Each structure stands twice: as C-alpha cells, then as structure tokens.
Homo-oligomer: A and B are copies of this chain.
Amino acid sequence: MTQDFTEKQLNSRLVYSGKMLQVREDVVSLPSGHEATREYVVHPGASVIVPLFEDGTVLVERQFRYPVKEHMLELPAGKIDEKEDPAIAARRELLEETGYKATRWDFIGSLMPCIGYSDELIYAYLARDLTYCKQQLDDEEFLETSKVSMGVLLQQSLNAQIQDAKTIIALLWAEQFLKKSV
C-alpha cells in the first residue's frame, strides 16, 4: 500500500473559537488537483491513565458527559496544557481528578479518537505504586471514583459494555504491556 493521497493546505481559517473548542476550515488541494474544504477541531492533545493498584484493581471514574447526555465509566484523562509534556499532563490529571500520585509510570501507546474531524492525539500511560494525596477538582467538575478489578474492566471492554474509546483502548494496551513485561 504505497499511493500518496496527501492533501495540501491552500489556506486555513479559524471559524469557531470557544472557551474549550476551536474549529478550522482549510481549503486543500486533493490528489486529483481539485480543491476541497476540510473542517476539523483543533485539539491540544490529551493523556489517559490506567492507575493500577497492587491488588489488581484499577481506579475508574464515573461522570456525566454532557455531549452524550450520559454518566460514563472512564479512566482518568485530561487535556494537555500549552507546551506541557504529555507525561506531565498525565501526572497532573491523575492527581487533580483522583487525588493519587504514582511513582511508576509507563507510556503504553498513543491513539487518535476522531481522525475524521479532530487532530486530537491521546497518550496512554500505565501508573503504578499509587499513594493518595488530595483530589483537586475544579468548580465545573463532578465525578466519583471507584476501584474495579482489571479483569472485570477488560471483560467489559471486550464485551462492548464500556463505550468510551480511550478507556477501552488504554485498558487493553495496559494488559498487553503487563503481559510483555512479565
């Protein structure tokens, strides 16, 4: 598989800029030479964390996600701040959202959740040797955490009971990472 289908940017316009989301509209030249418009979300990237305890449980969150109007089971995750290292963002988000610090970190892969209309890249980490400090949720964040066995979460990921893409993938990559490092 070797054809070059690269689309070249002819111009780019910021067409929406909210508090959280930015959308661009680019005119591109297609491989055929014709022009087309591409609309997409500009995203700073995110980190997702699999916080694994020695007893084989994983810390998960339950929170209401307004776009999908549901309470969702998720791994801790959050956006990378400007110029922040994804590994630092992971440490910061884990502490802010759950109150935990980890001393053992492994990068387990990066995924793209929405390649059709977002440039978001999510870095996934396995976090071990966890100790509780203090949760630091911001004013607009409401969530509860709980510990669930890794085995149960993996089953729920494979059985389509968990629906959040980053959570499914990070759990499966964490398991794969652990298998390899035995």
Contact = CB atoms under 8 A, between A and B. Distances in A.
A66 B41 contact: no
**What bracket does the count of chain A residues touching chain B fall in?**
35 or more
Contacts of A41: 21, 41, 67, 117
A138 B142 CA distance: 44
Contacts of A121: 68
B113 A165 contact: yes
A151 interface: no
Contacts of A112: 68, 72, 163-165
Copies in the complex: 2
A85 to B, nearest CB: 19
Contacts of A139: 32, 34
Interface of A: 1, 3, 5-7, 15-16, 18-21, 23, 25-26, 28, 30-32, 34, 36-41, 46, 62-69, 71-72, 74, 108-121, 124, 139-140, 142-144, 146, 157-160, 163-166, 168-169, 172-173, 176
5 contacts: A3-B142, A5-B71, A5-B144, A72-B115, A113-B114
